[in-house]
Amino acid sequence: MAQTAQFQLRNSSDNIVTGQASNLEFRVSPYSTAIGGLTFTETPSSSGVYVVTGIASYYKNVKLFLSGTEQTAYGVFDIGSHDLNFVELTGDETIGGVKTFSSPPIVPQAVANGQPTRYQDVWRATGNQTGLSGIKVTSDLIAYSPSDITITGDGTHTSKKYVDDLFATATGNVQSVQKIKLIPSRAITDAFSAPTLDGCIGQLNLATGRGNAVIECLATAGNVYTVADGEIWLIDSFDITGENAPKIDLSNQTSTSWTADSKLKDLHLYNSTAGNNWTLVNATFDNCDLDFAGNLTLTSCKFKGVVRIKVGASKTLTIANSTGTTIFYNDNITTVNITGTQVVDIRAVASADLGL
């Protein structure tokens, strides 16, 4: 609470001086400027008695000035109350400046923003802590140092680098070693996915077992993956499985003879170039569609489920030394050659009914 002071102004002849309220000042060392916020009022008027209000602090060694001249007869004095410089035991107060404590203050548990926090309620930078509970929500990721922190038991947090390193060194049928997903729109190739079949093959360790690429092309027009000319797309011990029946467009390939112990499942293989005559050897087709505009030769292949084959109307389909269950092919093919071991059920159906 602000304090007040009162004095009567007299000159060196001890005469009362009136009408000087606007010219009076209190100053403290070095006595160059006035204490701000003070109001001098002559009460009653023309009495020479001046009441000073607005004293918001305690001031020592104060001097009185009239129109910039020190009134030496008043000497030095103190104004305000000592209480203004101390914190009250009750009630609200605003305290300015930096306050340094010689020992930590004791405060209750914080329950709202802007309140001081107790030591036991803070997540400390070092050392072990127990008793933390509840959901902690952060506005950003928590970074661990070192970034490759080792996991020591259940419930221990880990880092991305630790998980990546673990996958990179793992063996067996895990995604980063024997299984990978083809994502055509992906910009890079890593241990989990690749934008090309060539890239998928490069990430798999085919020396330790069969590798499998899973293809889903929903992000591309017509659910089509186009194999670039010169791209390795079929190799021994490399299997390809389709999700949502992707179409594998081989029309750009100039190399049209492929021999590989490879399993192809739920795929639509497609070649629109009538002048390209294709030969596939040792492959296994499981519920696949083979749609080739040129001649097609299948040698020592295996067929599972239902396999639909369509070749150009004036072209030749050759199936040699192959086994399996059911093949449907279009009945307007000029020549069909079936030799050696044969598929159990081979049927010619109208091209329109084939559905390719």
pLDDT in tens, 191-217: 788 889 998 888 888 887 888 999 988
Among 52, 85, 118, give the residue marking a domain's end: 85
pLDDT tens per residue across span 248-304: 999 999 999 999 999 999 999 999 998 899 999 999 999 999 999 999 999 999 999
Respond yes or no on whether the N-terminal peptide bond of residue 104 is cis (omega within 30° of 0): no
Q: Which two tokens stand for residue 277?
A: 């005559």
Q: What are phi and psi of 169, to 5 degrees?
A: -100, 0
Residue 172 has pLDDT above 50, yes or no: no
- Could you give the number of structural domains in the chain? 3
Which residue intervals of the chain are DSSP H helices? 160-169, 175-178, 197-203, 351-354
User: Within a domain: residue 148?
Assistant: yes
Number of helices and strands in the chain (H, E)? 4, 25
Residue 106 has pLDDT above 80, yes or no: yes
pLDDT at residue 176, as a whole number: 45
- Asked if residue 158 and residue 76 are part of one domain, the reply reads no
Among 85, 109, 130, give the residue marking a domain's end: 85
pLDDT at residue 221, as a whole number: 84
User: Within a domain: residue 130?
Assistant: no
For residues 140 and 222, give the distance between their C-alpha atoms in angstroms, rounded to a whole number.
39
Nearest Cα residue to 256 out of 276, 273, 236, 242: 276
User: Within a domain: residue 52?
Assistant: yes
Side-chain-side CA neighbours of 239 within 13 Å: the count stands at 15
Q: Which domain holds residue 160?
A: 143-171
Band (pLDDT 50/70/90 cuts) for residue 167 is low
Distances (CA, A) of 314 to 8, 182, 252, 311: 126, 35, 21, 8
> CATH number, domain at 67?
2.60.40
Q: Residue 7 is which amino acid?
A: F
Band (pLDDT 50/70/90 cuts) for residue 120 is confident
DSSP letter for each residue of 190-213: -SSEESSHHHHHHHS-TTSS-EEE
Band (pLDDT 50/70/90 cuts) for residue 148 is low
For residues 191 and 177, give the distance between their C-alpha atoms in angstroms, rounded to a whole number.
7
Task: Output 92 or 141, whichever has higher pLDDT.
Answer: 92
User: Within a domain: residue 178?
Assistant: no
pLDDT at residue 260, as a whole number: 94
- Asked if residue 147 and residue 81 are part of one domain, the reply reads no
Lowest-confidence segment of 38-42, 55-59, 86-90 by average pLDDT: 86-90
pLDDT at residue 56, as a whole number: 84
Cα angle 221-285-327, degrees, rounded to a multiple of 5: 100
The fraction of the chain above a pLDDT of 70, given in percent, is 89
User: Within a domain: residue 32?
Assistant: yes
User: Within a domain: residue 36?
Assistant: yes
Band (pLDDT 50/70/90 cuts) for residue 175 is very low
- Asked if residue 150 and residue 75 are part of one domain, the reply reads no
User: Within a domain: residue 336?
Assistant: yes
Q: Which two tokens stand for residue 139?
A: 């506005």
- Asked if residue 163 and residue 74 are part of one domain, the reply reads no
Q: What is the mean pLDDT of the chain?
A: 86
- Asked if residue 255 and residue 166 are part of one domain, the reply reads no
Residue 174 has pLDDT above 60, yes or no: no
For residues 258 and 19, give the distance between their C-alpha atoms in angstroms, rounded to a whole number.
114
User: Within a domain: residue 154?
Assistant: yes
For residues 329 and 355, give the distance between their C-alpha atoms in angstroms, rounded to a whole number.
10
Residue 162 has pLDDT above 90, yes or no: no
Burial of 58 (0-12, 13-18, 19+ CB in 10 A): middle
